[in-house]
Structure 1
Amino acid sequence: MPSSQHTELRADRRRPRPIRARGTTLLILAAVAALALHAVQLRIDRSIQMFDADGLSPHRPAAGHLTGQNVLLIGSDARNRGNNALGGGNGADTGRADTTILLHVYADQRHALAVSLPRDTLVTIPPCRLPDGVWSRARTGAMLNSAFSVGGSPTGNPACTQNTVEALTGLRVDHTVVIDFRGFAALTDAVGGVRVCSPADVYQRDLDPNRSTRGALVFHKGEQTVSGRKALDYVRLRHGLGDGSDIGRVQRQQAFVAALVRKIRARGLSPARLLPLARTVARSAIVDPGLGSARKLLAFARSLSGIHPHDTRFVTVPWRYAGERVALVQPDADRLWAALRADRTAAQPSGASPAPSAAPVLPPSVRATARPADATPCAHLSFGRS
């Protein structure tokens, strides 16, 4: 065989080597990525804080026979643990539940309903476990937000808020998540900001009524993107918009959460995308033991991945003013809780199998004010008493 042919054969045998090298490089990169994700998971596992499930009431509602779930979301206004840098006030204040939302995920895993419970709602706080192990007495005519502060624990009392919501609704809460000012601000930074709407210009004096001058413009009228401290100011703002009441900001908070969910979905729901967000939240969140690890958090996120924003609704429990407080409107509120306990959708009579395309069944007074999670930022906003 001529030497030129020998040369060609040797060249042919050498050609696959770059391909094998590229394959090896990809395997190494994949291994490095897997190790990096594992390292993030370990950091989450070390930093996430769980509340003691022993504080949950021994008289909880029975678990539902369907596969739907209820998730209690609590926004704490605590000033301790460095939160006073964002919210002002006493750095030792353990705070109350500034925002309370009960998320019902339907058994079809395609629909969800988020129910806002105004912080000033008058409720009965059932017996709750105190830090010394003693159980408190039930309190009637108390504001919902005060359940979080029962016992004065440095981390609040999420179990007491959960007990109160379960007693109020007759719904068994499967998971509870508490996030403070720092965690909220960090999460909005991590997603690159959230698109919101302001119906009017808002100035520094609107954030601080004790200020003598109007100050600089904080939010301009119309749509804008906010993050960090500015996002926190937007959802907590009372005096710049509406009548200065908590009711006036509930729908704004709903619009914000809906926009945040859309932003997270748009970024992608892979572990590589979700784990950094989970790590951000874990630094300042308190969760129930069922969410107390990166693995559990990811499994929970995956369980929600099939719910499109169009099939998620935000509502406020039927309410009326009772002086300076808020009372539930009956029987409308009880009808809402009954509909959620039954997990019914429009094409699904009680006891039937879930219908993926069906809309949730809601009382007319609730359905009329429902806000879809895919609504534009300025849609469906009102601001308390006219």
Structure 2
Amino acid sequence: MAGSHKVSSRHRAGSGAAAAGRQRKRGKAKTGIAVAVSLLVLLTAGTGWTYIQLDGNIETFRADGISDDRPPASGNGSNVLVIGTDARTNGNSGLGGGDKTDIGRSDTAFLLHAYADQKHAVAVSIPRDTLVDLPPCELPDGSWTRPQASTMFNAAYSVGQSAQGNPACTQNTVEKLTGLRVDHTVVVDFKGFAKMTEAVGGVQVCLPQDIYQKDLNPNRATRGTQIFAKGPQTVSGQTALDYVRIRHGIGDSSDMGRIKRQQAFVASLLKKIKSDGMSPTSLLPLANAATESLTVDPGLGSAQKLISFAMSMRDIDLHNTKFVTLPWRYQGARVAIVHPDAEALWAALKADRPLDGQDAGNHHDEQAGNSSSSPSAAESVSGRGISVAVYNATTVTGLAARAAEAVKQHGFTVTSTGTAMVRRQSKTVIEYGPGQKDQAEKVMQVLAGAEASAAATPGIKIILGKSYAAYPAAPASVEASTVPSALAGGARSADDDPCSNLSYG
């Protein structure tokens, strides 16, 4: 593959005695079994899409496209970005249809956070139509693009229009979006997905209704033949791919419903792998299937690195592997991120706190004790009963959400966040209506450097300027690290019944 690297796991055979040859074969067999077992560990830990080549090569994408401007590395768990592409190149058009020269986009993507306690994991799906800001990304000629505002998330993978896609650009975009450092990135295409489902002997799914060919391809003139029957069933290969790709004629016919179906499928796949046990007989076909189809970042570009990473997650339980979707709302035909709910989710993962808000490791107790020993001047401020609206008057992305989270920690009610009409304001201003000066002064104690300004209309508006952008974001508190109850309560566990919660279709 052009623009990629091969890390060979084969050892060239030299001349020698027959006994030496037999010894090499025994060593190779032992290595193969060890690698296969490690692959299962990784799959049952919740990543599911990482690959090593037992008797061939590990495919990696180029690292020079990964940005130098990255979130800092953290000891609070690890983050793995999984990208499923809809590319039709390299023989994928036979499975997905379409133009065989289409390089595709990131048809599905999720960020898996494996907690530092090595017992919990959360996979956050990022809708492909989500409007995000694309950071600079490297082009095939070595130059870098300019930032692009309000662009669909799946466009990042297509930057440069190269045959192998641009997973580094997608990784850069996710890091900018979340503020989390992506430790590893894995890409899987149609072929890889189909082969892995065949290797495990199929995956159980559940349908709320009969599904026909027209549901998969709405351009058909007739309904066509039945693809799926209502109820539970086992799918593999092309049929499994059809299941996770189908969108029209099922549920609300949206990509959001399809995301939930994909989450249920990955959960069922992990459950199937774990239920099959750890025998080489069941593991080797899966490992070989993964070998042929996945691409990984250079950090996983050797069996030794991959095994070490896999072993670090061997104790994660299926019940503690959760699936959620980035908080979202429709914005016309696209998907917009819901603030500050999304920031609360990223803050929770950054703090290594599970969705239910409970501790995921003893280090949280230590953090709680340390935080009380050095209180800030603003900690005594109570905003209970005070409502505010927050507006970003700068070009700094996410500033309104950050300020909203800061005031919410002190009990203020945030009625809305948005972008101001003028985005070149230097100072942060707290506008207040008649009789609300005292309330505005409380807001000023939380937002350092703000100034108060009287207005004729009732209400308090926080209009953020560059002065606020210059202040570093405050570390997430325990309250800020707790995700909205609706998001946490709606999470799917990897051990859930595939026929439960069929509202997604």
Q: TM-score range by the shorter chain?
A: 0.7 to 0.9
Q: CA–CA distance in 2 between the matches of 1:176 and 1:252?
A: 22
Equivalence for 2:116: 107
Please say if residues 278 and 294 of structure 1, whose CA atoms lie closer than 8 Å, have aligned partners that are also in contact. Answer: no
Match among 485, 495, 505 for residue 374 of structure 1: 495
Query: Is 2:365 the counterpart of 1:352?
Result: yes
Match among 331, 338, 341 for residue 347 of structure 2: 338
Equivalence for 1:217: 226
Aligned residue for 2:495, secondary structure, equals coil
Query: Is 2:107 the counterpart of 1:98?
Result: yes
Equivalence for 1:22: none
Query: Is 2:60 the counterpart of 1:50?
Result: yes
Please say if residues 278 and 297 of structure 1, whose CA atoms lie closer than 8 Å, have aligned partners that are also in contact. Answer: no
Q: CA–CA distance in 2 between the matches of 1:273 and 1:48?
A: 21
Shift of residue 274, structure 1, vs aligned partner = 4.1
Please say if residues 251 and 381 of structure 1, whose CA atoms lie closer than 8 Å, have aligned partners that are also in contact. Answer: no
Equivalence for 2:476: none
Q: CA–CA distance in 2 between the matches of 1:365 and 1:272?
A: 42
Equivalence for 2:7: none
Shift of residue 157, structure 1, vs aligned partner = 0.3
Query: Is 2:459 the counterpart of 1:362?
Result: no
Q: CA–CA distance in 2 between the matches of 1:240 and 1:32?
A: 53
Q: CA–CA distance in 2 between the matches of 1:43 and 1:335?
A: 38
Equivalence for 2:72: 62
Aligned residue for 1:263, secondary structure, equals helix
Q: Which has the higher contact order (CA 8 A, sep 6+)?
A: 1
Q: CA RMSD in A?
A: 2.4
5+ residue gaps, structure 2, are 1-21, 36-51, 368-480
Q: Whose helix fraction is larger, Structure 1's or Structure 2's?
A: 1
Shift of residue 267, structure 1, vs aligned partner = 2.1
5+ residue gaps, structure 1, are 1-28, 355-359
Equivalence for 1:255: 264
Shift of residue 53, structure 1, vs aligned partner = 1.1
Equivalence for 1:35: 28
Please say if residues 205 and 232 of structure 2, whose CA atoms lie closer than 8 Å, have aligned partners that are also in contact. Answer: yes
Please say if residues 251 and 382 of structure 1, whose CA atoms lie closer than 8 Å, have aligned partners that are also in contact. Answer: no
**In the TM superposition, what whole-angstrom CA distance separates every residue of 1:74-111 from its partner, at most 9, and x where no partner exists?**
00000000000000111111100000011000110000
CA gap 1:341/1:285 in 2 versus in 1, 3 angstroms: same
Equivalent residues, number = 350
Matched ranges for 1:230-379 at <5 A: 230-269=239-278, 273-345=282-354, 346-347=358-359, 351-352=364-365, 361-379=482-500
Please say if residues 115 and 352 of structure 2, whose CA atoms lie closer than 8 Å, have aligned partners that are also in contact. Answer: yes
Q: CA–CA distance in 1 between the matches of 2:211 and 2:73?
A: 45
Q: CA–CA distance in 2 between the matches of 1:30 and 1:224?
A: 46
Greater mean deviation of Cα atoms: 260-269 or 314-323: 260-269
CA gap 1:260/1:167 in 2 versus in 1, 3 angstroms: same
Please say if residues 45 and 292 of structure 1, whose CA atoms lie closer than 8 Å, have aligned partners that are also in contact. Answer: no
Q: CA–CA distance in 1 between the matches of 2:55 and 2:63?
A: 18
Please say if residues 75 and 116 of structure 2, whose CA atoms lie closer than 8 Å, have aligned partners that are also in contact. Answer: no
Aligned residue for 1:249, secondary structure, equals helix
**In the TM superposition, what whole-angstrom CA distance separates every residue of 1:54-92 from its partner, at most 9, and x where no partner exists?**
1111111001133x1001010000000000000011111
Q: CA–CA distance in 2 between the matches of 1:39 and 1:105?
A: 26
Match among 174, 178, 190 for residue 181 of structure 1: 190
Q: CA–CA distance in 2 between the matches of 1:306 and 1:30?
A: 34
TM-score (norm 1): 0.85
Shift of residue 265, structure 1, vs aligned partner = 1.3
**In the TM superposition, what whole-angstrom CA distance separates every residue of 1:98-140 from its partner, at most 9, and x where no partner exists?**
0001100011000000111111100001000111110111111
Percent identity reads 58
Q: CA–CA distance in 2 between the matches of 1:299 and 1:269?
A: 18
